Chains A and B, each alone.
Chain A
Amino acid sequence: MASSIENNNEKLTLKSSDGEEFLVEKHVALQSTLLQNMLDSDCSSADVIPLPKIDARTLALVLGYCKKHADASSSKQGELNSFDSEFLKDMDMGALFNLVLAANFMEIKGLLDIAAQKIADTIKDKPHQEVREIFHVENDYTPEEEAAVREENRWAFEGFP
């Protein structure tokens, strides 16, 4: 198949939900399975690829992650691991949720893994009331139902209000 991605220096343009355009090298974009599939099919790299679910701030972070991973040689796994842990450090929950959504949508497995793990680590020791706030989840149980659910696994709630 005559592909438009023969030139390694080729770039493509991604457009965030808030209209900002990002010029990305092809090999960086290939970290995303979604983009890879688009490039493998009929999508021309000359086109602007809209990413309507991802805002510019998040997309900049995502592309920073992809660039680091695309450029690192496989021998530098240790360096990548420390980059990964630095990358999410001190990130607020809102940014982290946007990042996990973007990684899920763009199918960037490594980023999805570290973001989901970071969220899991954050809620690990939190009472469920606090977990609701973090996830902006509305409690749809009646007090009786909630008590019954807690009773199903009483031991897991020991020490929690």
Chain B
Amino acid sequence: MADYLPQDVLVNIFTRLPIKTVLQCTSVCKLWHSLIVNPSFIDSHLNRPPTQAYNNAHHLLLVRTCFDDDEGRKELYSLHCDNEAFDEYAKLQFPFNMAYNRFYRIVGSCNGILCLTDDQMTYVDNTILWNPTIQKWVRLPKPRVTFTSHGGFDHAIGFGFDAKSNDYKVVRIVRLLDFESEVPPEIDLYSLNTGAWRNISHLGLPCVISGRATQAYLNGAAHWIGADMERHCIMFLSFHMGDEAFRSMSLPADVPFLPWGLIPAVIQGSLSVIEEKGFSYERSWCIWVMKEYGVASSWTKLIDVGIGEQFDMLIGFRKEGELLIKARGDLISFSPRDAQVKGLGIRSNTRGWYDESLHTDAYVESLVLLGSPEETKEDEVACEEEKEVEVGCREEEIESTEAAETRHL
């Protein structure tokens, strides 16, 4: 009887296990623990061939909704199978205190890690990398540029994975507002491996991007819509996590100069841009896809779909080509092929600022951040020591919000 399996066979078996079982296996013996917490195993588990995945039938979609109950505001995160019934796969425990700004902005998701930041109205220096599957997270240290240090600003954040050094990075681009003329942006890069921010302002930017610009993450790079105001042109601005460089890429020639009216996205593995056209009954979404990454001539119009007044916002894409749309707080699935509309039984608060809380994104379960110490619920963490949290604020919002000063957690 075999009472010994070589380590490569053990790892082969562990790779095929669901995450919960893998974590239970850490308590079998010390060898198993060390094999599982090893970053190379975490990689192989994440990148296992689909045939080895226990849930190979599912493509998972993350859904975030917000609601109020007796205990107050809540953010609810769940995973759904991208199948006909949109079955709920798992509810994810949200371990953080409520965001200062009503709800967290989800910067992006990569290899099972969500990057959350609390910057919807006022800039609270609170950015978190969170693996909800294994309930681990890392809170980023205070950034270099804050309201106290530099005055009013606008920032954009990008999050992604650097495969070269097996590192997760957050790039923060700050545009200072308290100057009569445009000053060069302040840019910092956080690395999970080093646990620190690093000033990379010397790189400069080939264009400007708006505050809290939406990112589309693909091929190891965060992409935003950028604009060159002098030359009156718009482009994709990208930050490549591996070689730490900014680049720009052409948008489809037919897209008008509407720097902040375009939404970047990733659709079926391709970089895409969504243009909303027209008003009222004439409204439509025009979706462009860059078939070959980085090749401007490969921009192709995927669909141009009339949406009238019934749909509010395009918030996601399904593997069969349906669009995920917010329509008065309900999440619906819309098939552009036959104009079929299907409710998915998911609702989010639509009151005031909550209107934009409904979020969907493709998601993969992973063991990334397994070595991170934090796992207790945030409110259980000893916080006798009052931490000062700085609140940066857009200049034009100072009057409209009472939250322009420092607050206490």
Contact = CB atoms under 8 A, between A and B. Distances in A.
A128 B375 contact: no
A138 interface: yes
B17 interface: yes
Interface of A: 94, 97-98, 100-101, 104, 112-113, 116-117, 119-121, 123-125, 127-128, 131-132, 135-141, 146, 149-150, 152-157, 160
A136 B17 contact: no
Given A104-B9, A116-B12, A157 B27 contact: yes
B25 to A, nearest CB: 7
Contacts of B13: 100, 116, 119-120, 123
Interface of B: 1-6, 8-9, 12-14, 16-21, 23-30, 32-33, 51-52, 54, 93, 134-135, 375
B375 A154 contact: yes
A104 B5 CA distance: 10
A144 B25 CA distance: 17
A121 B134 CA distance: 21
A97 B2 contact: yes
A131 B28 contact: yes
Contact of B2 (A94, A120, A121, A140): A94
A120 B9 contact: no
Contacts of B29: 132, 137-141
Given A120-B17, A136-B4, A149-B27, 12 more contacts: A101-B5, A104-B9, A128-B25, A131-B24, A135-B3, A136-B3, A139-B28, A140-B30, A141-B27, A150-B27, A153-B375, A155-B135
Contact of A120 (B16, B33, B51): B16
Contacts of B1: 94, 97-98, 136
Nearest to B10: A135
Nearest 4 pairs of A and B residues by beta carbon: A136-B3, A156-B23, A97-B2, A120-B16
